[in-house]
Copies of this chain bind each other. A is one copy, B any other.
């Protein structure tokens, strides 16, 4: 999978280089967590890297988003809008169900290329546009399917229900459907001021499983703090594993042997966690011989 940079300072190493191209990401956070700022950083990064940008706004109008972008020190937004590298779709006040099934559908059909960045900010009212869980899932599935055709998708999502408890249907359905889920946890009503970011899942990619404090700074946007320990690449155990695999080559079908060789190549000790090389080898032989 090709990785693209997120535009959020300090986030890329936590995602093994960035988010997967043509994947869908959901950014969840409560009021004041910095969701729209995140979305603007994501779109800006793409434009600066020569990608096209599409901003689908469901609440704010164009003027407000621009104002916020400029306040973030990004005056070039005006130029991008002028030359239509950045397209702004104002869906506020529309029937979202209809908007997705008709307007967005047409927009996507007419679009050329699949390398754009699309931000949907926020996804929440789309879910409310229909009643049942069933239809909500169907509508979100369709929205993600359509936007993914055009490029890499990022949706912001409001955190409803008790803070830090992501079990409401507004959040849980998009979380299941997205490839990558990032939680911006903002404890506004507790005594501390800390904001922390957690990557909940990222399909087909290694990702950090820790909590990372972040700050929102005027003119810069979100900055994620993390110790400079990226993906560890110690390989003591995994080298032993490779040797054990060679020893057992005859006991395994050829295609399995090859698949395992390939899997072990990139494997580091930290990923194995507490699993020893003898244990894992035993499991493989149990399965295939």
Contact = CB atoms under 8 A, between A and B. Distances in A.
A262 B160 contact: no
B93 A219 contact: no
Interface string A140-176: 0110010000000000001011111111010010011
Question: How many copies of this protein are present in the complex?
Answer: 6
Interface residues of A, number: 96
A98 interface: no
A289 to B, nearest CB: 12
A223 B272 CA distance: 9
A275 interface: yes
Given A32-B200, A141-B93, A122 B59 contact: no
Contacts of A167: 160-163
Nearest to A138: B93
Given A189-B166, A275-B225, A59 B177 contact: yes
B267 A217 contact: yes
Contact of A189 (B1, B198, B274): B198
